[in-house]
Amino acid sequence: MISAVPVDFPDSALEAEVLDNLGRVEESLAATAHPDDELLTEASRHLIAAGGKRFRAMLVLLAAQFGDPKDPRVAAFEVYGWLGAVQDSLVRAIAR
């Protein structure tokens, strides 16, 4: 779970909103990590547990301030980037 935004915001209300929405992104990632395939499930959960700053997600959430930052499609950008990491992990696992 994200507990801090990876940059300093001069506006504490905006920081709180971005932090709240990053939590929604984490929930969306967790919801996508339940496929029927054991290898995919394991790789997905490993990457989610690794966490990270979710910098890409934060940038999308900041851009979404011009629209609706609670739109579920915002999390899709992080899921898309995260899927690339899953693919890389799977390719490495298969190559072993």
**Within a domain: residue 8?**
no
**Within a domain: residue 16?**
no
User: Domain of 70?
Assistant: 23-95
Q: How many domains does the chain have?
A: 1
The structure tokens 């920081």 sit at 15
**Within a domain: residue 57?**
yes
Give the pLDDT of the chain (96 residues) as one tens digit per residue: 555 556 788 888 988 888 888 888 888 777 777 777 888 788 777 777 776 667 777 888 888 888 887 777 777 777 777 677 777 878 888 887
Rounded to two decimals, the pTM is 0.64
Spatial distance between the Cα atoms of 18 and 43, rounded to a whole number of angstroms: 27
DSSP string, 63-94: HGGGS-TT-THHHHHHHHHHHHHHHHHHHHHH
